[in-house]
Amino acid sequence: MEESNTVNTAQKIRHARQKVTDLTAHSPVRRLELVMLRIYPRRMVYSEQYVGPVAAACGRDETGIVGVILWNEQIKRVNVGDILVIESGWCREKNGELVVSTGKNGRLFVLR
């Protein structure tokens, strides 16, 4: 019985929703839910790590607004007004503002 409670607690912690106010630069994003407010035009990036389209965006939850980076096919999947879930992503600071993304290993889900 005690082992089952430990597993359930670990699952809740892993899937606990972060809020924008909980984010800090240079830290992982476990699970963040955002309403998309704006998506800027896509642009092409050519670097050693990634070649392809990228779009800046911004989203919010009940605690604040954060920048979002959308990569490749994510740009076509996400629309203004959608509710996004970002899991296993990253949070960085750019020009004094926080920005989140899935990066290479994270996941993005659209809850319409």
Which tens digit of pLDDT belongs to each residue from 84-97? 999 999 999 999 99
58 token code pair: 């911004």
104 confidence band (pLDDT: 50, 70, 90)? confident
The pLDDT, as a whole number, for residue 86 is: 97
What does the domain layout of the chain look like in residue ranges? 17-111
- The residue among 57, 70, 79 whose CA lies nearest residue 106 is 70
Helix (H) or strand (E) holding 5: helix 2-15
Answer whether residue 106 shows pLDDT above 60.
yes
What are residue 73's phi and psi, to 5 degrees?
-70, -20
Name the amino acid, one letter, at 105.
N
> Domain spanning 17-111 has what CATH number?
2.40.50.140
**CA–CA gap between residue 11 and residue 3 (Å, rounded):** 13
Q: How far apart are CA 68 and CA 100, in angstroms?
A: 5
